[in-house]
Amino acid sequence: MDPGFTDNSSMGAGEGSNDGHQIEQKPVIDQGTGGASDDSQYVTVKVRSPDGEQVLYRIKKKTRLQKLMNSFCQRTGQNEQSIRFLFEGERLRPEMTAEDAGLQEGDLIDAMISQVGGGIRM
């Protein structure tokens, strides 16, 4: 297991339900700088899968979103190449940080299945 990755996914019965969809709390993702952690360095965000399942992540504001994206795809069994992550309608790029994307405490990231095409000419 990655040293900067703490799994805190166990929840008691009845915890984590939201609109009929289960919210699963997931690992803390950071770059393991080693010093005392300051809560202002972290942000907790939800990632919602295409089927409505929500996963909580607590990440450092300076950590690249690639780590969150990889973790989410691995945990949900999704192909990383077929999932696109959107925040407020804008696509998140893997090289961005939570700070770059403007993510705040409790924000929701949508994980969508990538689609090509869909336009029609008449």
Q: Structure tokens of 55?
A: 């996963």
In a domain, 26, yes or no: yes
Q: Indicate if the pLDDT at residue 8 is higher than 80.
A: no
Which residue has better confidence, 87 or 1? Answer: 87
- Per the structure, the complete domain to which residue 83 belongs is given by 18-30+39-108
Residue 116 maps to a domain: no
Q: Where are the beta strands (DSSP E) in 1-122?
A: 5-6, 17-18, 21-29, 42-48, 54-60, 83-87, 90-91, 108-113
One-letter amino acid of 101: A
Q: Say whether pTM exceeds 0.85.
A: no
* 17 has a pLDDT exceeding 60: no
Q: Does residue 45 form part of some domain? A: yes
Per residue in 42-99, pLDDT tens? 999 999 998 999 999 999 999 999 999 999 999 999 889 999 999 999 999 999 999 9
Which residues, in sequence order, are CB contacts of 95 under 8 Å at separation 6+? Answer: 64, 65, 66
Give the pLDDT confidence score for residue 56 in this predicted structure: 96
The verdict on residue 13 lying in a domain is: no
Q: Is residue 96 part of a domain?
A: yes
Give the whole-number percent of the chain exceeding pLDDT 70.
Answer: 67
Question: What's the structural domain count of the chain?
Answer: 1
Q: Range with the lowest mean pLDDT among 19-33, 48-62, 97-111?
A: 19-33
Q: Looking at residue 71, which CATH number applies to its domain?
A: 3.10.20.90
- Residue 54, in any domain of the structure: yes
Identify the band that residue 20 occupies on the pLDDT scale cut at 50, 70 and 90.
low
